[in-house]
Amino acid sequence: MQQITDILTSPFAPYVLIFAAFVLVNASLLSKRGLLSVHTKAVSLGIADNERDVIRQQQRWARTYLLGLEPFIKDLGREDYDDDLTLRCLDRAYIAVVEWITLNHISMDDHYIKIKQDELVSLMYSQGIKSQYRTEEFRDQMESWIKELIQGLYDIRRNHK
pLDDT band of residue 36 (cuts 50, 70, 90) is low
CA–chain centroid gap for 47, Å, is 15
pLDDT at position 45 is 60
For residue 149, pLDDT beyond 90: yes
For the chain, how big is the Rg over CA atoms in Å? 24
- For 97-150, give the secondary structure using H, E and C: HHHHHHHCCCCCCHHHHHHHHHHHHHHHHCCCCCHHHCCHHHHHHHHHHHHHHH
Percent of the chain with pLDDT over 70: 85
Asked if 45 and 27 count as a contact pair (C-beta separation under 8 A), the reply is: yes
Distance CA 117, CA 110 (A): 10
Tell me what the mean pLDDT of segment 22-27 comes to.
84
Q: Report pLDDT digits (tens) over 63-79.
A: 999 999 988 888 876 66
User: 3-state class of 152 per DSSP?
Assistant: helix
Distance CA 38, CA 19 (A): 19
pLDDT at position 34 is 64
pLDDT at position 77 is 66
Neighbours of 129 (CB within 10 A): 18
Neighbours of 157 (CB within 10 A): 18
For residue 92, pLDDT beyond 90: yes
Mean pLDDT over all residues of the chain? 84
Residue 43 vs residue 17, higher pLDDT: 17
For residue 82, pLDDT beyond 70: yes
Asked if 141 and 124 count as a contact pair (C-beta separation under 8 A), the reply is: no
Distance CA 9, CA 15 (A): 12
pLDDT at position 49 is 63
Half-sphere exposure of 22 (CA within 13 A, CB side): 6
Run of H or E residues at 39: strand 38-39
For residue 156, pLDDT beyond 80: yes
For residue 104, pLDDT beyond 90: no
Residues 117/130/137/83 CA torsion (nearest 10 deg): -80
Asked if 77 and 130 count as a contact pair (C-beta separation under 8 A), the reply is: yes
Percent of the chain with pLDDT over 90: 38
pTM over 0.95, yes/no: no
